[in-house]
Amino acid sequence: MSHPTLDIIAEVYRAFDSRDFGMIERLFDPDIDIDQAADLPWGGRHHGHVGAVGFFTTLLAHIDSKVISEHMFAAGEDVVQVGRTVGTTIPGGVEFDLPEVHIWHLRQGRIVGFDAYIDTPAMLAALRQAQAR
């Protein structure tokens, strides 16, 4: 069953798959906060459209990945997505397939926050393995 917040987040994943970063301007609030474990090269807190561009640019400089969504549901104005991130490291081409959870915070049809959780020790191990090659 369709829900407006689910439709917005589905659009984000489609845009990411096609590397359409115009979605940041279209869907993200100018004051968005993005949070991921600071241990990751692209991790930490990123604020605003500039921070979002930095987050995605740094992520794509280290991994080529696709999110495989297993479950997505609305929780009020928030959306929780549970799935896997599958891909390879850049450079090195080390393959990974890791569990992840994304929590998207929406207000008035705009994304105001994105909390990304991944199996951080496993992702760091893949990145270290790639560096050792």
pLDDT tens per residue across span 50-92 = 999 999 999 999 999 999 999 999 999 899 999 999 999 999 9
- How far apart (Å, rounded) are the C-alpha atoms in residues 109 and 91? 37
- What is the side-by-side order of every strand in the sheet holding 63-75? 44-47, 28-36, 110-118, 95-107, 78-89, 63-75
Q: How confident is the model over 33-54, as pLDDT tens digits?
A: 999 999 999 999 999 999 999 9
Residue in 20, 6, 17 with CA at minimum distance from that of residue 111: 6
Q: What are phi and psi of 106, to 5 degrees?
A: -120, 145
- How many other β-carbons are positioned within 10 Å of the β-carbon of residue 133? 9
The reported pTM is 0.94
